Amino acid sequence: MKFLETFFNGAVMAKYLPDLLGAIVTTLWLSAVILALGLSLGLVLACLRCLGRWYLTLPIVAFADIGRALPPLVVILICYFGLPGLGISLSGPAVLILVLAGVLAAFAEEIFWAGLTAVPKGQWEAGRATGLSFARTLFEIALPQAVRLGIPPLVNRALAITKMTALGSVIGVKEILSVSSSAQSFSGSATPLTMAALAYLAIFLPAVILSRALERRFSWAV
Amino acid sequence: MTAPSPVHRRPMLEINRLEKRFGETRVLTSIDLSVAPGELVFVIGPSGSGKSTMLRCCNRLEEPSSGTILLDGEHVTDCRGAALDRMRLKIGMVFQGFHLYPHKSVLGNVMLAQIRALKRPKAEAKARAMEMLEHVGLAHKADAMPAELSGGQQQRVATARALALDPKVMLFDEPTSALDPELVGSVLKVMRRLRDEGMTMLVVSHEMGFAREAADRVVFMDGGVVVEAGPPEAIFGNPQSDRLKSFLARVSKDEE
Ligand SMILES: Nc1ncnc2c1ncn2[C@@H]1O[C@H](COP(=O)(O)OP(=O)(O)OP(=O)(O)O)[C@@H](O)[C@H]1O
Ligand SMILES: [Mg+2]
């Protein structure tokens, strides 16, 4: 059985399982931090853009457009190998978090903003006419509706960005892909890569299923 | 100005020389209109005559270009920021499209501004909301979502939402024009009851039958000016201007 030997070698699996479990934990916490930072920064930026001041809107739009246009790998390499030249040395995980959270924030800002512009003007007027301040109307009325509209694209984007933690393998972050590919070269077996694929499935399949539940939870008839 | 007589009451809402321009286009020209406490004033006029704009100037959803608006003797037109928010609490507005918050239950819609703007304790806000829903005949729908309601029910929830803040005046912009005919009656019933309880109301509407029966005064607007104003018998029974005559002729033809 050449296939099983290549992809599911029991001895190799047993040998590298502990390393891989550590890598799974690393991927998980990196993802959690990236999601928390990226989504909240995106939300804050979209709210600031709502104020309609050009000196806020201009840098926000520039950030969102550049963040969405640049390949994350390029930015990761620039930060990891370029910044030390300026005397700023960041660890691999720090670079990965900063860049991926920044990219997620760029996308999230656009998604939240699209949701906010889709909230009918009458909703704002109803809020303001009942004496609610701009901020209250934003947080209590406009934002919940914008978030609801944004949930499906946000979930997709969040999944795409967290999978990019695999890019950490090029800057020495001990996440799933880097641990398994170095195991692959040491052992000469493809089995660690199979394990990596299974690990990604174990993490992201439940996340996808959870996201469906989330979409249902945040939907209401209009 | 004549000195007010002892029985003369200060108007609840007073609009003085109100002007509104959108860029170069002048939409309202020197509108003078006052509504006495407990009075129901009807505003009629052709489409585009500026009725909605005038109403929206009253709570500054539209910024007047010039003129003053006073609510119970206080300047609405001078308020800014938090003072304007507090002033708006006293001016209830019901929109043509209702604009209920789709993500909140009926009860949540009626409670939100009570808690967040009026700073009422939650329990008190809830009690007041239920009282107002009772008033408009929808207490049994408190837990429903707006999308589950008919247009007439949504309209009455919007009315309850405004009333729960204990406003001094209620502004209605075409409260029945988005409704199927069979739902209009329930909404007019609520308005009739409000009038009987002494609420001051300024109503833009094409419900001529209701105006005839319930209004204390009718104001006819055309081209951004008040053309004629008076008791319903005079406006409908003995119109003076040609513009009003032709408007009434057009409307009664539509109604047939
Ligand atoms: N935001 C705006 N910008 C420019 N023009 C406006 C704006 N809002 C209203 N207008 C113009 O002002 C005029 C009066 O509009 P308004 O909505 O007050 O009329 P109305 O009497 O309420 O009409 P209707 O019976 O159709 O509701 C119209 O000519 C309209 O095009
Ligand atoms: Mg109108």
CATH classification of the domain holding A153: 1.10.3720.10
Edge-to-edge strands of the sheet including B66-71? B25-35, B13-22, B66-71, B74-75
Spatial CA neighbour of A34 closest among A85, A90, A96, A84: A96
Spatial CA neighbour of A172 closest among A101, A84, A67, A81: A81
- Nearest ligand to the CA of B24 is 1
Q: Is the CB of B52 under 6 A from ligand 1?
A: yes
Q: A144 in a domain, yes or no?
A: yes
In this predicted structure, the answer to whether residue A152 has a pLDDT above a threshold of 90 is: no
- Quote the CA–CA distance of A138 and B141 in Å, as a whole number: 26
Q: Is the CB of B47 under 6 A from ligand 1?
A: yes
pLDDT band of B255, cuts 50, 70, 90: low
Specify the higher pLDDT residue, A213 or B139. B139
CA B176 to ligand 2 centroid distance, Å: 12
The SS3 assignment for A95 reads helix
For chain B, percent of residues with pLDDT exceeding 90: 77
Q: A213 in a domain, yes or no?
A: yes
Reported ipTM: the value is: 0.90
- Residues of chain A whose beta carbon is less than 8 angstroms from a beta carbon of chain B are 120, 122-123, 125-133, 136, 140-141, 144-145, 148, 220-222
Q: Express each pLDDT in B74-128 by its tens digit.
A: 999 988 999 999 999 999 999 989 999 999 999 999 999 999 999 999 999 999 9
A132 and B113: CB-CB below 8 Å? yes
A221 and B145: CB-CB below 8 Å? yes
Which residue range forms the structural domain that includes residue A166? Answer: 25-173+204-218
Spatial CA neighbour of B113 closest among B135, B141, B139, B90: B90
Q: What is the DSSP string of A26-82?
A: HHHHHHHHHHHHHHHHHHHHHHHHHT--HHHHHHHHHHHHHHHHS-HHHHHHIIIII
Tokens of A48: 């600031």
Q: Express each pLDDT in B189-203 by its tens digit.
A: 888 999 999 999 999
From B36's Cα to the closest Cα of chain A, the distance in A is 22
- Quote the CA–CA distance of B61 and B171 in Å, as a whole number: 12
Q: From the list B87, B117, B145, which residue is nearest A132 (CB)?
A: B117
pLDDT band of A97, cuts 50, 70, 90: very high
pLDDT band of A222, cuts 50, 70, 90: low
Considering the entire predicted model, what is its pTM?
0.87
Q: Check residue A220 and give its pLDDT.
A: 64
Q: Express each pLDDT in B91-106 by its tens digit.
A: 999 998 999 999 999 9
Q: A8 in a domain, yes or no?
A: no
Q: Check residue A129 and give its pLDDT.
A: 96
Q: Is the CB of B24 under 6 A from ligand 1?
A: no
Q: A39 in a domain, yes or no?
A: yes
- Quote the CA–CA distance of B18 and B27 in Å, as a whole number: 10
Q: A184 in a domain, yes or no?
A: no
Spatial CA neighbour of B69 closest among B11, B130, B117: B11
* Ligand 1 mutation target, pool B42, B49, B220, most atoms within 8 A of CB: B49
Residue type, B168: K
CA angle B146, B148, B154 (to 5 degrees): 45
- Quote the CA–CA distance of B241 and B221 in Å, as a whole number: 11
Looking at ligand 1, which residue's alpha carbon is closest to its atom 25?
B47
- Quote the CA–CA distance of A24 and A179 in Å, as a whole number: 10
Residues of A in contact with B155 (CB under 8 A): none
Strand locations in B119-224 (E): 169-173, 200-204, 217-222
Residues of A in contact with B82 (CB under 8 A): 133
Q: Express each pLDDT in B161-182 by its tens digit.
A: 999 999 999 999 998 888 888 8
Q: A185 in a domain, yes or no?
A: no
- Quote the CA–CA distance of B142 and B152 in Å, as a whole number: 15
Residues of A in contact with B113 (CB under 8 A): 127, 130-132
Q: Check residue A221 and give its pLDDT.
A: 56
Number of domains in chain A: 1
CA B5 to ligand 2 centroid distance, Å: 36
- Quote the CA–CA distance of A202 and A192 in Å, as a whole number: 15
From B82's Cα to the closest Cα of chain A, the distance in A is 7
Q: A64 in a domain, yes or no?
A: yes
Residue type, A25: V
Q: A10 in a domain, yes or no?
A: no
Q: By the 8 A CB rule, do A132 and B117 touch? A: yes
Residues of B in contact with A132 (CB under 8 A): 85, 112-113, 116-117
CA B47 to ligand 2 centroid distance, Å: 7
Strand (E) or helix (H) holding B188: helix B181-196
Query: How does the average pLDDT of chain B come out, rounded?
Result: 91
CA B12 to ligand 1 centroid distance, Å: 25
CA B41 to ligand 1 centroid distance, Å: 20
Helices (H) then strands (E): counts for chain B: 9, 10
In this predicted structure, the answer to whether residue A15 has a pLDDT above a threshold of 90 is: no
The SS3 assignment for B183 reads helix
